[in-house]
Structure 1
Amino acid sequence: MDPHRRARVTRSEAGESRWEVATRELPAGLRAHVRGLLGYSEASALPCLRREFPLPQVVVIIEFGPPIRVHDDAGVASRYAGGFVAGVHDCWTETGHDGSQRGIQLNLTPIGARLVFGVALSELAGRVVHLDDLLPRAHRGLAARLAELADWDDRFDMVESFIATRVAEARVEVATVAWACRRIEACAGAVDIGGLAGELGYSGKHLIALFRDRVGVPPKLLARLVRFDHLVRRLKSGPSATWAELAAEFGFADQAHLTREIRGFTGITPTGARALIGDLAFA
């Protein structure tokens, strides 16, 4: 194996909690469809509850250990033994475990998820679905097969092969919406959707219909999520800045607009969100 493609494993401890995170460089052919792929293992003395922020991606959790809890908007918890798929959403989600979790997190672009799962992403938007319910018969039980493998590299090989196979088998046309998504990403969400539809020669209504199928949400909401994603990354690793400076940098009308957007996506104040962003280990 190419040494640059070997898994890098990081282990850390804090008090009575221990983490292991494994990552590996993605093959070039998958980078258009995969935002991130990592293996994780966590053990703690106490139960854990985390608030996950919405991002412009479809999250696939493949579990080897006890299934984690996923709380809906009413706070009702569900478990999905073997794993689940969370579609694009515009609201935070709370997840928890009783002291341990282990598995793989696969973050797909919306277009990548459309190709891998072969269903209109409007069926997944704002929802969490059991992984096996979205897999063809040949790929069901993926979590159990991954759990039996010896190391992270073998597991990553299997997941990458699964993605490549599903993308190669896909028969849905995604080039138009993929181009529009790249434009939105390149502008960090600051794009005129009406102008984008005009460039494509489509009505706004037709573009929205295409996005609901290929992405799950309308292009305006995707652009807002992309802008929020860029803001989150800026807060995680960029230089310090005031909220007013960040509002100007990311094209918000003013600081009050930025505050409303952060509250809407996270359910907490900007200051509270900033404190949690550093703990988004699996984002």
Structure 2
Amino acid sequence: MDYVGRVPAPPLDLFIDDIYCMSGRPRHRLMSVPPMPSAHLFVNLGGPVRLWDSDPAVPPVVLTGGWFMGVWTRRFVVEYPKPLRLVGVHFKPWGLSPFVDPPATELRDTWMPVDGGWRRSVERIRDRAGDRAPATATLRVLEQELRSRLAGRSARGLGLVQHTGERLEAANGAVPIGALTDAAGVTGNLLAARFKQHVGITPKRMARIYRFAQLITSVDPRRPVDWAELAHAAGYFDQAHFSREFKDFTGHTPTGYLDLRRRFPAEPGFPPDAGPMPAE
């Protein structure tokens, strides 16, 4: 599996962590993805991708073109084709808002076809990238499309959300919400409303996801893991709450998750973080 990614040039870097291209034969076709502080854009240049929500009431979907995904508050499972060829965007939690029209609450825990908001974009990206274009050329095509979509767009209250979100990111979620509202000079209700508009969830819930991401990416399965120490360092002060949230977000106990990581080591360079894990 080849993963080529980079941070786009300003001003896209205000809204995007990286753009990337994945190609080749993934070692694990089924990957379970826990809540992470990111929204997504995927453009599929290969075979169909299947997606399952951890909520059994939500039917699975087969995705063949391009799709947006907002911030997820629960895990989902993705099945990659073999071979895989896909380009994507890891948006910052607030970063998708300037590129699409629906409020972020409508994209939370779900997906939307790209052509539902960006007409003919998937076709244009495919035509310009070609079937055999190198990853670097494909990323240039994607970045140009993103730049054209951002031009001239503004969103009310996005600056407030971005500034507050950056504080949450820097602190890995370990910031009292009262401190955020005091620093922003707004009421808690206004901040929550703006976050729902541009992120899809409240600052408090966003802080939980940042805190979990800090913990999960700090796990090194090659070494003994002191879960109590890691949980405390990530801001969990209630061990029972930590255990419940870990099981909710991953589907595993901490011990079960560590066993899974040791049985199925991450492919070098893929995934790019320690969040997604093989789904048994």
TM-score (structure 2 length as normaliser) = 0.84
1:227 aligns with 2:211: yes
User: Which structure exhibits the higher relative contact order, with contacts defined as CA atoms closer than 8 Å and separated by 6 or more residues?
Assistant: 2
1:189 aligns with 2:173: yes
1:69 aligns with 2:59: no
TM-score (structure 1 length as normaliser) = 0.83
Do 2:125 and 2:142's aligned partners in 1 also have CA atoms closer than 8 Å?
A: no
| Structure 2 counterpart of 1:162, one-letter code | E
| CA-to-aligned-CA distance 1:140-169 (integer Å, 9 cap, x gap) | 524423541622121111111222222222
Do 1:36 and 1:108's aligned partners in 2 also have CA atoms closer than 8 Å?
A: yes
1:85 aligns with 2:68: yes
Matches within 5 A, 1:118-267: 118-135=101-118, 137=119, 139-148=121-130, 150-173=133-156, 174-235=158-219, 241-267=225-251
Q: Secondary structure at the match of 2:37?
A: coil
Shift in Å at residue 27 of structure 1?
2.3
Q: Secondary structure at the match of 1:260?
A: helix
Shift in Å at residue 200 of structure 1?
2.2
Shift in Å at residue 234 of structure 1?
1.2
Question: Which residue in the other structure is 2:15 paired with?
Answer: 33
- CA distance in structure 2 between the partners assigned to 1:243 and 1:36 by the alignment: 30
* CA 44–106 in structure 1, closer or farther in 2 if over 3 Å, else same: closer
- CA distance in structure 2 between the partners assigned to 1:252 and 1:156 by the alignment: 38
Do 1:122 and 1:216's aligned partners in 2 also have CA atoms closer than 8 Å?
A: yes
Cα RMSD between the aligned structures? Answer: 2.5
- CA distance in structure 2 between the partners assigned to 1:24 and 1:196 by the alignment: 30
| CA-to-aligned-CA distance 1:176-196 (integer Å, 9 cap, x gap) | 111100111111101111231
* CA 36–126 in structure 1, closer or farther in 2 if over 3 Å, else same: same
Question: Which residue in the other structure is 1:10 paired with?
Answer: none
* Percent of aligned pairs with the same amino acid: 27
| CA-to-aligned-CA distance 1:105-153 (integer Å, 9 cap, x gap) | 2111122200122331111011111122121x36352442354162212
Do 1:56 and 1:110's aligned partners in 2 also have CA atoms closer than 8 Å?
A: yes
| Structure 1 counterpart of 2:63, one-letter code | Y
* CA 101–239 in structure 1, closer or farther in 2 if over 3 Å, else same: same
* CA 252–141 in structure 1, closer or farther in 2 if over 3 Å, else same: same
Structure 1 residue runs of 5 or longer lacking an equivalent are 1-18
Q: Secondary structure at the match of 1:164?
A: helix
Do 1:43 and 1:99's aligned partners in 2 also have CA atoms closer than 8 Å?
A: yes
- CA distance in structure 2 between the partners assigned to 1:213 and 1:236 by the alignment: 36
| CA-to-aligned-CA distance 1:13-56 (integer Å, 9 cap, x gap) | xxxxxx222223532433221122221123369x8222111101
Q: Name which of 249, 255, 263 aligns with 1:271.
A: 255
Q: Secondary structure at the match of 2:47?
A: coil
Do 1:64 and 1:147's aligned partners in 2 also have CA atoms closer than 8 Å?
A: no
Segment drifting more, 26-35 vs 104-113: 26-35
Matched residue count = 263
- CA distance in structure 2 between the partners assigned to 1:131 and 1:236 by the alignment: 36
Shift in Å at residue 97 of structure 1?
3.4
Structure 2 residue runs of 5 or longer lacking an equivalent are 274-280
- CA distance in structure 2 between the partners assigned to 1:57 and 1:142 by the alignment: 25
Q: Secondary structure at the match of 1:84?
A: strand
* CA 113–278 in structure 1, closer or farther in 2 if over 3 Å, else same: farther
Q: Secondary structure at the match of 1:91?
A: coil
